[in-house]
Homo-oligomer: A and B are copies of this chain.
Amino acid sequence: MEEKCPIESTLSLINGKWKQMILKELSQGPVRYGQLGARISSVSSKVLTQQLREMEHDGLIRRKVFPEVPPRVEYSLTEMGASIFTVFKELRRWGLEEDAMHRGKCSFCGQCQPLFQGERQGDGR
Q: Interface of A with B (CB < 8 Å)? A: 1-11, 13-14, 20, 59, 80, 83-84, 86-88, 90-92, 94-96, 98-106, 108-110, 112, 122, 124
Contacts and interface: CB of A to CB of B under 8 A. Distances in A.
Nearest to A104: B3
A95 to B, nearest CB: 3
Given A84-B94, A94-B83, A7 B99 contact: no
Copy tally for this chain in the complex stands at 2
Contacts of A4: 101-102, 104, 106
A9 B95 contact: yes
A115 to B, nearest CB: 11
B98 A8 contact: no
